[in-house]
Amino acid sequence: MKERLILIAFVPLILALSGCTTQQEILFKEVAKKTHAAVTPSRIPFPEVQEWYWPRHEAVNERLKQGNVDLLFVGNSIMNGWDNTGKKYWDQYYASRNAVNMGFGWDWTQHTLWRLDHSDFSNISPKLAVVLIGTNNSNGNDNTAEEIADGIIAICGRLHTQFPKMKILLLAIFPREPGPCPQREKITRANQLTSRIADGKTIYYLNLSRLFLSKDGKLRQELMPDFLHPNEEGYRVWAKAMEPKITELLGEK
């Protein structure tokens, strides 16, 4: 019995010395082997977006080429909204932090992966990326919760590979629709699965869903009038809630 206790006591040291693979590394490797749509980089096909999407892509790329970028925002229309609906609070919280908004309306995870593969990161070394993506993949039967989580993990993996020293603040997909429903349940499950890549060292997970929900689970329409996108007040609430973590991760305190 004494020998067994000694062995157990040394297990943590043995594992540390063996350089065992972390859960984050395991998930990155597992997702890299998958081939479903949510993890396969794809140029966005929707005719409705072509007129504005590519000029925006070029403009973002030009900004990246200029360098002096400390903070990246990566996502879909909800993130894109910092440029318009949420601009007042973008200017208040992020403009002075050398931030670049890489949020694009209509993006699914596969489209964000394509953009990351076709962005010029050669002249930047950001300190932090804020990632919010996946809600568009949750429509109907397009993707399962597991596939959505795979897509988000793939995006974080791309960013981590590109910028190994950069920290990533991964936000849970915001709730949507007026009340509890199958789509909301899928999003909740995807968030649970995605949160596993957070290690508190390079990737941090923050779930702000409670901000947008009333006690009975209904979406607060005064913050998300269309039950999907925040209005100006929604962006204010979001920025205020996220600020302590951003301050911490940027090393500003």
**pLDDT tens digits for range 58-76:** 999 999 999 999 999 999 9
- pLDDT tier for residue 11 given thresholds of 50, 70 and 90: very low
The CATH number of the domain holding residue 161 is: 3.40.50.1110
* Predicted confidence band of residue 21 (pLDDT cuts 50, 70, 90): confident
Residue 16: predicted pLDDT: 40
CA 240 to chain centroid = 18
Confidence of residue 2 (pLDDT cuts 50, 70, 90): very low
Per-residue model confidence (pLDDT) at position 20 = 65
pTM for this model (two decimals): 0.92
- Give the model's pLDDT for residue 19: 54
- C-alpha 44/C-alpha 78 separation (Å) is 17
For residue 3, what pLDDT is reported? 46
In a domain, 70, yes or no: yes
CA 78 to chain centre: 11
Q: Which of 13-17, 140-144, 152-156, 179-183 has the lowest average pLDDT? A: 13-17
The fraction of the chain above a pLDDT of 70, given in percent, is 92
Residue 165, pLDDT score: 97
pLDDT for residue 227 is more than 80:
yes
In a domain? residue 21: no
In this prediction, residue 60 carries a pLDDT of 98
Q: What is the Cα–Cα distance from 20 to 7, expressed in whole angstroms?
A: 18
More confident site: 231 or 8: 231
* pLDDT for position 253: 75
pLDDT digits (tens, 9 = 90+) for 109-133: 999 999 999 999 999 999 999 999 9
Q: 102 pLDDT exceeds 70?
A: yes
93 part of a folded domain: yes
Q: What band does 17 get if pLDDT is binned at 50, 70 and 90?
A: very low
**Is 10 a residue whose pLDDT tops 70?**
no
Containing structural domain, residue 167: 32-249
Give the span between the Cα atoms of 89 and 116, in whole angstroms: 25
| Residues near 11 by beta carbon (within 8 Å), at least 6 away in sequence | none
Report, as residue numbers or ranges, the catalytic residues. 77, 226, 229
pLDDT for residue 8 is more than 90: no
pLDDT of residue 128: 98
- Angle value at C-alpha 61, between 153 and 131, nearest 5 degrees: 25
Mean per-residue pLDDT, 184-208:
98
* Structural tokens at position 76: 């879909």
Please check whether residue 36 lies inside any domain of the structure: yes
Tell me the chain's radius of gyration from C-alpha atoms. Answer: 19
**Does the residue 10 lie in any domain?**
no
Residue 24 lies in a domain: no
Q: Does 57 map to a domain?
A: yes
What are the beta bridge partners of residue 213?
Answer: 219
Indicate whether 183 belongs to any domain. Answer: yes
Number of domains in the chain: 1
